[in-house]
């Protein structure tokens, strides 16, 4: 799992591995690389919630914004699942096994902010958990939102969303300007997957 200025695999536009580069080189030159995104869901008898982190104010990109539960780079010889298990425990204090992790699709993420360029092939994963206990050294807080509320927010049908604690206590109404919504990733990959699971049930 990436924890510093480690070496990452880089790719051409046909997704052929063409070498390796440091994280700094990847993000200053906009080199195509891979990253894993984890969406964590809590199904209940009547609803489904999404676990959400509030990004640290020290983060280079979108500091203090509400975001999906975990993103991670990974070592060149490490699998996606190994990197996710490692990063969830290291950054969130959450122990999961590789069998808990479901690959649901991929998408291309392109972000250009000043001298920062993120050109990433995102492998999107889902984890379902009944209850999660987090230790959060690198996160301001972890909350949850109703899946349907988040869907409405993503599609612009509402401008605020209710935040709940992990113990189901209502916390506040949050506006869209407090979020890194990752709209394309949700609409293209996550939403269809969750809808298919609901239909199966």
Does 141 or 103 have the greater pLDDT score? Answer: 103
Q: Please choose, from the candidates 149, 195, 199, 197, the residue with its C-alpha nearest in 3D space to the C-alpha of residue 176.
A: 149
In contact, 6 and 24? CB cutoff 8 Å: no
Q: What is the pLDDT of residue 138?
A: 52
Does 131 or 67 have the greater pLDDT score? Answer: 67
- Both tokens assigned to 11: 């790719």
Average pLDDT over residues 80-98: 89
Share of the chain above pLDDT 90, in %: 70
Q: Give the up-direction half-sphere exposure of residue 193: CA atoms within 13 A in the CB hemisphere.
A: 19
**Sequence spans of domains, the chain:** 7-200
Using one digit for the tens of pLDDT, what is the confidence trace for 123-151? Answer: 999 999 987 777 765 555 899 999 999 99
Is the CATH number of domain 7-200 3.90.1150.200? no
Average pLDDT over residues 165-185: 95
Using one digit for the tens of pLDDT, what is the confidence trace for 37-51? Answer: 999 999 988 899 999
For the chain, what is the HEC assignment? CCCCCCEEEEECCCCCEEEEEEHHHHHHHCCEEEEEEEEEEEECCCCEEEEEEEECCCCCCCCCCEEECEEECCCCCCCHHHHHHHHHHHHHCCCCCHHHEEEEEEEEEEEEECCEEEEEEEEEEEEECCCCCCCCCCEEEEEEEEHHHHHHHHCCCCCEEEEECCCCCEEEEEEHHHECCCHHHHHHHHHHHHHHHHHHC
């Amino acid at each position: 799992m990436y924890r510093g200025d480690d070496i990452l695999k880089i790719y051409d536009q046909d997704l052929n591995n063409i070498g390796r580069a440091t994280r700094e080189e990847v993000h200053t030159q906009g080199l195509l690389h891979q990253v894993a995104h984890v969406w964590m869901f809590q199904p209940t008898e009547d609803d489904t919630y999404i676990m959400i982190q509030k990004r640290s104010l020290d983060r280079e990109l979108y500091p203090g914004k509400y975001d999906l539960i975990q993103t991670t780079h990974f070592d060149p010889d490490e699998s996606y699942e190994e990197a996710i298990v490692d990063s969830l425990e290291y950054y969130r204090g959450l122990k999961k096994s590789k069998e808990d992790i479901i690959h649901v699709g991929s998408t291309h993420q392109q972000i250009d902010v000043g001298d920062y360029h993120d050109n990433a092939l995102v492998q999107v994963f889902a984890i379902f958990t009944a209850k999660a206990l987090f230790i959060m050294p690198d996160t301001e807080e972890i909350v949850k939102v109703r899946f349907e509320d988040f869907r409405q927010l993503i599609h612009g049908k509402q401008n605020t969303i209710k935040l709940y604690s992990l113990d189901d206590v209502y916390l506040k109404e949050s506006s869209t300007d407090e979020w890194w919504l990752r709209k394309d990733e949700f609409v293209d990959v996550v939403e269809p997957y969750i809808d298919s699971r609901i239909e199966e049930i």
